[in-house]
Amino acid sequence: MFKVAILGASGYTGLELVRLISMHPKFEIVYLSGDSKSGMKFGDVYPGLQYLKLPNLLSVSEINYEEIDAVFCALPHTKSAI
């Protein structure tokens, strides 16, 4: 299994990534970021996906990048620009 993080998971693009990646047999979602909804359960933000076993939303800075194999970025361009 490839352990992945999805940045910007609480937005619409992030939502679609979560939905698609959660069904993939070789990916395990271990981190979800959503700065404005940090600390919330993903299923509380999107009740239609409460049936999925997902981690709580965190801020980007709380993710331990050494624990994951890949990062999917669904952040707005103003936040992803460095």
* Mean pLDDT for all residues in the chain: 92
pLDDT of 81 above 60: no
Q: Which domain holds residue 38?
A: 2-80
pTM passes above 0.85: yes
pLDDT value, residue 76: 80
Q: What is the pLDDT of residues 34-58, one digit of tens each?
A: 988 899 999 999 999 999 999 999 9
Total of domains in the chain: 1
User: How many CA atoms lie less than 13 Å away from 31 in the CB half-sphere?
Assistant: 24
What whole-number distance in Å separates Cα of residue 79 and Cα of residue 5?
16
* Model pLDDT, residue 72: 97
CATH code of 9's domain: 3.40.50.720
- What is the per-residue DSSP string for 50-62? TTS--PPEE-GGG
